[in-house]
Amino acid sequence: MVIDFKPAGEPGTRAEFTYHMTPATILITGKGRLSVGKDLEAVLRKIEYWHQAPVIRFRIMARQGQGTWHGVRWDGKGATAFVLNETDENKAKQALLLKHPIEEAGSPSDREIDANQKPVMSDHDKNLFIEQHKDGYAILRGGVKEPLAVEPTQDAAIEKARKLDPDAAIHVERVRNVEGGGRDKWRRI
Protein backbone atom coordinates (compact mmCIF):
# COMPACT_ATOMS: atom_id res chain seq x y z
CA MET A 1 0.00 0.00 0.00
CA VAL A 2 1.28 3.47 -0.92
CA ILE A 3 0.23 6.57 1.01
CA ASP A 4 0.64 9.92 -0.74
CA PHE A 5 0.72 12.84 1.71
CA LYS A 6 0.67 15.44 -1.06
CA PRO A 7 -2.64 17.32 -0.81
CA ALA A 8 -5.06 16.54 -3.65
CA GLY A 9 -5.41 19.40 -6.06
CA GLU A 10 -1.98 20.92 -5.41
CA PRO A 11 -0.59 22.08 -8.76
CA GLY A 12 2.55 20.33 -9.92
CA THR A 13 5.63 21.91 -11.46
CA ARG A 14 8.50 20.51 -13.46
CA ALA A 15 10.86 23.32 -12.41
CA GLU A 16 12.39 23.45 -8.93
CA PHE A 17 12.30 26.91 -7.39
CA THR A 18 12.29 29.06 -4.30
CA TYR A 19 10.44 32.33 -3.94
CA HIS A 20 10.20 35.33 -1.65
CA MET A 21 7.12 37.51 -1.24
CA THR A 22 6.89 41.07 0.00
CA PRO A 23 3.63 43.03 0.15
CA ALA A 24 4.19 44.23 -3.43
CA THR A 25 6.62 41.79 -5.11
CA ILE A 26 7.34 38.13 -5.72
CA LEU A 27 10.94 37.07 -6.48
CA ILE A 28 11.31 33.57 -7.97
CA THR A 29 14.67 31.78 -8.32
CA GLY A 30 14.96 28.57 -10.32
CA LYS A 31 17.08 25.85 -8.71
CA GLY A 32 16.93 22.82 -10.98
CA ARG A 33 17.84 21.79 -14.50
CA LEU A 34 14.60 23.01 -16.04
CA SER A 35 14.41 26.78 -16.28
CA VAL A 36 11.64 28.50 -14.31
CA GLY A 37 10.88 30.41 -17.51
CA LYS A 38 9.95 27.18 -19.29
CA ASP A 39 7.48 26.25 -16.52
CA LEU A 40 6.46 29.76 -15.47
CA GLU A 41 2.67 29.33 -15.53
CA ALA A 42 2.81 26.17 -13.41
CA VAL A 43 5.20 27.88 -10.97
CA LEU A 44 2.83 30.85 -10.58
CA ARG A 45 -0.19 28.56 -10.09
CA LYS A 46 1.70 26.73 -7.34
CA ILE A 47 2.58 30.04 -5.63
CA GLU A 48 -1.11 31.04 -5.82
CA TYR A 49 -2.03 27.68 -4.30
CA TRP A 50 0.42 28.16 -1.41
CA HIS A 51 -0.58 31.82 -0.99
CA GLN A 52 -4.30 30.83 -1.14
CA ALA A 53 -5.08 33.89 -3.24
CA PRO A 54 -4.44 35.23 -6.75
CA VAL A 55 -1.12 36.99 -7.25
CA ILE A 56 -1.99 38.95 -10.40
CA ARG A 57 -1.55 42.33 -8.67
CA PHE A 58 1.98 41.55 -7.46
CA ARG A 59 5.01 42.72 -9.37
CA ILE A 60 6.86 39.52 -10.21
CA MET A 61 10.43 38.85 -11.27
CA ALA A 62 12.21 35.56 -11.91
CA ARG A 63 15.63 34.20 -12.76
CA GLN A 64 17.37 30.87 -13.13
CA GLY A 65 20.21 30.34 -10.64
CA GLN A 66 22.41 33.45 -10.61
CA GLY A 67 21.32 34.61 -14.08
CA THR A 68 19.65 37.80 -15.26
CA TRP A 69 16.35 38.85 -13.68
CA HIS A 70 13.22 39.03 -15.85
CA GLY A 71 9.99 40.84 -15.08
CA VAL A 72 6.83 38.74 -15.32
CA ARG A 73 3.28 39.74 -16.23
CA TRP A 74 0.67 37.27 -14.96
CA ASP A 75 -3.07 37.56 -15.59
CA GLY A 76 -4.05 34.34 -13.84
CA LYS A 77 -4.05 32.36 -17.09
CA GLY A 78 -0.91 33.22 -19.01
CA ALA A 79 2.52 34.60 -18.17
CA THR A 80 4.86 36.71 -20.25
CA ALA A 81 8.37 37.78 -19.34
CA PHE A 82 10.32 40.93 -20.16
CA VAL A 83 14.04 41.53 -19.68
CA LEU A 84 15.24 43.70 -16.78
CA ASN A 85 18.95 43.33 -17.76
CA GLU A 86 20.09 43.12 -14.12
CA THR A 87 21.80 40.36 -12.15
CA ASP A 88 21.74 42.34 -8.88
CA GLU A 89 18.46 41.70 -7.03
CA ASN A 90 18.04 45.24 -5.66
CA LYS A 91 18.74 46.90 -9.02
CA ALA A 92 16.37 44.47 -10.75
CA LYS A 93 13.64 45.18 -8.19
CA GLN A 94 14.09 48.92 -8.75
CA ALA A 95 13.87 48.42 -12.50
CA LEU A 96 10.74 46.29 -12.07
CA LEU A 97 9.02 48.84 -9.84
CA LEU A 98 9.91 51.75 -12.14
CA LYS A 99 9.37 50.11 -15.52
CA HIS A 100 6.13 50.97 -17.27
CA PRO A 101 5.95 48.53 -20.20
CA ILE A 102 3.07 50.14 -22.14
CA GLU A 103 4.86 49.69 -25.45
CA GLU A 104 5.25 45.94 -24.79
CA ALA A 105 1.74 45.35 -23.45
CA GLY A 106 -0.51 43.06 -25.45
CA SER A 107 -3.70 44.01 -23.61
CA PRO A 108 -4.87 46.70 -21.16
CA SER A 109 -4.47 44.30 -18.22
CA ASP A 110 -0.76 43.96 -19.10
CA ARG A 111 -0.38 47.70 -18.52
CA GLU A 112 -1.14 47.35 -14.81
CA ILE A 113 2.57 47.21 -13.94
CA ASP A 114 2.72 50.89 -13.11
CA ALA A 115 5.18 52.83 -10.96
CA ASN A 116 2.27 54.76 -9.40
CA GLN A 117 0.30 51.68 -8.36
CA LYS A 118 -0.22 51.33 -4.61
CA PRO A 119 1.45 48.43 -2.79
CA VAL A 120 -0.68 45.32 -3.07
CA MET A 121 -1.01 44.52 0.63
CA SER A 122 -2.07 47.57 2.60
CA ASP A 123 -2.81 47.23 6.30
CA HIS A 124 -6.47 46.72 5.33
CA ASP A 125 -5.45 43.77 3.11
CA LYS A 126 -3.84 41.95 6.04
CA ASN A 127 -7.24 41.57 7.72
CA LEU A 128 -9.62 38.67 7.29
CA PHE A 129 -13.33 39.34 6.90
CA ILE A 130 -16.17 36.92 7.52
CA GLU A 131 -19.44 37.70 5.79
CA GLN A 132 -22.64 35.96 4.82
CA HIS A 133 -22.42 33.95 1.63
CA LYS A 134 -25.01 31.96 -0.32
CA ASP A 135 -23.39 28.75 0.99
CA GLY A 136 -22.83 29.88 4.60
CA TYR A 137 -20.07 32.27 5.69
CA ALA A 138 -17.18 33.32 3.43
CA ILE A 139 -13.68 34.14 4.66
CA LEU A 140 -12.18 36.96 2.60
CA ARG A 141 -8.86 38.74 2.69
CA GLY A 142 -9.08 42.50 2.27
CA GLY A 143 -8.35 43.46 -1.32
CA VAL A 144 -9.15 39.97 -2.68
CA LYS A 145 -12.52 39.28 -4.30
CA GLU A 146 -12.57 35.47 -4.14
CA PRO A 147 -13.23 33.82 -0.75
CA LEU A 148 -10.36 31.90 0.83
CA ALA A 149 -12.92 29.45 2.19
CA VAL A 150 -16.66 29.09 2.84
CA GLU A 151 -17.91 27.45 6.03
CA PRO A 152 -21.47 26.46 6.98
CA THR A 153 -21.56 28.49 10.24
CA GLN A 154 -20.10 31.75 11.47
CA ASP A 155 -18.27 29.94 14.31
CA ALA A 156 -16.71 27.48 11.86
CA ALA A 157 -15.62 30.38 9.63
CA ILE A 158 -14.00 32.17 12.59
CA GLU A 159 -12.13 29.00 13.58
CA LYS A 160 -10.97 28.41 9.97
CA ALA A 161 -9.85 32.06 9.64
CA ARG A 162 -7.71 31.70 12.77
CA LYS A 163 -6.07 28.63 11.25
CA LEU A 164 -5.51 30.31 7.86
CA ASP A 165 -3.74 33.32 9.36
CA PRO A 166 -3.21 33.35 13.13
CA ASP A 167 -1.76 36.88 13.02
CA ALA A 168 -4.57 38.50 11.03
CA ALA A 169 -7.23 40.69 12.59
CA ILE A 170 -10.59 39.02 12.01
CA HIS A 171 -13.67 41.15 11.33
CA VAL A 172 -17.14 39.62 11.33
CA GLU A 173 -20.11 41.12 9.50
CA ARG A 174 -23.02 41.63 11.84
CA VAL A 175 -25.99 39.83 10.38
CA ARG A 176 -28.72 42.05 11.76
CA ASN A 177 -30.30 44.84 9.77
CA VAL A 178 -30.39 48.33 11.25
CA GLU A 179 -32.63 51.34 10.77
CA GLY A 180 -32.19 52.80 7.32
CA GLY A 181 -31.65 49.34 5.78
CA GLY A 182 -28.53 47.35 5.12
CA ARG A 183 -26.14 45.56 7.42
CA ASP A 184 -24.72 46.90 10.64
CA LYS A 185 -20.98 47.55 10.99
CA TRP A 186 -18.19 44.99 11.29
CA ARG A 187 -17.07 43.77 14.68
CA ARG A 188 -13.48 42.78 15.34
CA ILE A 189 -12.91 39.59 17.27
**Among the listed residues 108, 63, 66, 105, the one whose alpha carbon sits nearest the alpha carbon of residue 84:** 63
**CA angle at residue 35 from 34 to 41, to 5 degrees?**
105
SS3 letters for 78-147?
Answer: CEEEEEEEECCHHHHHHHHHHCCCHHHCCCHHHHHCCCCCCCCCCCHHHCEEEEEECCEEEEEECCCCCC
What DSSP designation does 1 have?
-
3-state secondary structure of 39: helix
**pLDDT for res 93:** 84
Is residue 81 a contact partner of residue 62, using CB atoms and an 8 Å limit?
A: yes
Tell me the mean pLDDT in the region 109-137.
Answer: 59
Give the residue with greater pLDDT, 140 vs 7. 140
Kindly report, residue by residue over 40-78, the tens digit of the pLDDT: 999 999 998 888 888 888 889 999 888 889 999 898 888
Tell me the mean pLDDT in the region 155-171.
Answer: 88
Give the residue with greater pLDDT, 109 vs 125. 125
Q: Is the confidence at residue 88, as pLDDT, over 70?
A: yes
Q: Average pLDDT of the chain? A: 76
Exposure string over 151-172, b if 16+ CB within 10 A, otherwise e: beebebbbebbeeebeebebbb
Q: Is the confidence at residue 129, as pLDDT, over 60?
A: yes
Query: Is the full-model pTM beyond 0.85?
Result: no
Domain boundary assignment for the chain: 17-112, 124-188
Element (H, E) at 150: strand 149-151
CA R_g for the chain: 20
**Among the listed residues 61, 44, 62, the one whose alpha carbon sits nearest the alpha carbon of residue 53:** 44
**From CA 80, how far away is CA 8, in angstroms rounded?**
28
Total Cβ atoms within 10 A of residue 30:
22
Q: Is the confidence at residue 80, as pLDDT, over 50?
A: yes
What DSSP designation does 24 have?
S
Tell me the mean pLDDT in the region 161-181.
Answer: 76
Kindly report, residue by residue over 177-187, the tens digit of the pLDDT: 556 555 556 67
**Among the listed residues 111, 105, 98, 103, the one whose alpha carbon sits nearest the alpha carbon of residue 24:** 98
Q: Is the confidence at residue 103, as pLDDT, over 50?
A: no
Element (H, E) at 41: helix 40-51
**pLDDT for res 111:** 32
Q: Is the confidence at residue 176, as pLDDT, over 80?
A: no
